[in-house]
Amino acid sequence: MTLLALALSIQQAPCPHTIINWVIRLTIVRLDSARTLRGLPLDRAPFRHGLMWMIDISIGLGSGKMLAVLAFDAHHHQRESKAPTLRQVHGIGVAVATSWTGETIADFLKRRIATMGRPAASLKDNGSDLHQAVA
């Protein structure tokens, strides 16, 4: 906390209780923002960010299949000549199930959209389940 205080030019490092209160307040604000989107059909939900989502399913835990959604700035390639690095990629969500269908993937994506807003675009392989979910 002291290093954070120095980096932010704060005279005294915040105590753990202060940090907890800040995180709780941020959570409340984000939940309130998500509530305003819940009643909207997905085609009318506003773009809330300029992120491109990468969606993939792979065998992750035992026989379970892991669905992962990562995001990076949709304008990355206009600004950079290199591929995004780990510092430029953000985790949007991950879930494990014994199997995934287009419908279950779509439900997962809808919950992410209700929280984060719609992505500017999405990248995925040509799997029929992912194609159905995104459609």
pLDDT given for residue 75 in this prediction: 80
Query: Tens digits of per-residue pLDDT, 7-26?
Result: 767 777 767 777 777 777 76
Write the DSSP string, 21-38: HHHHHHHHHHHHHHHHHH
pLDDT-flagged residues of the chain (< 50): 35-42, 45
* Per-residue pLDDT, 37: 44
Which residue has 């600004």 as its token pair?
Answer: 79
Q: Supply the pLDDT for residue 60.
A: 64
* Residue-range domain boundaries for the chain: 2-38, 46-134
Distance CA 57, CA 127 (A): 9
Annotate 2-23 with three-state secondary structure.
HHHHHHCCCCCCCCHHHHHHHH
Q: pLDDT at position 130, please?
A: 80
- pLDDT of res. 86: 81
d(CA 123, CA 52): 7
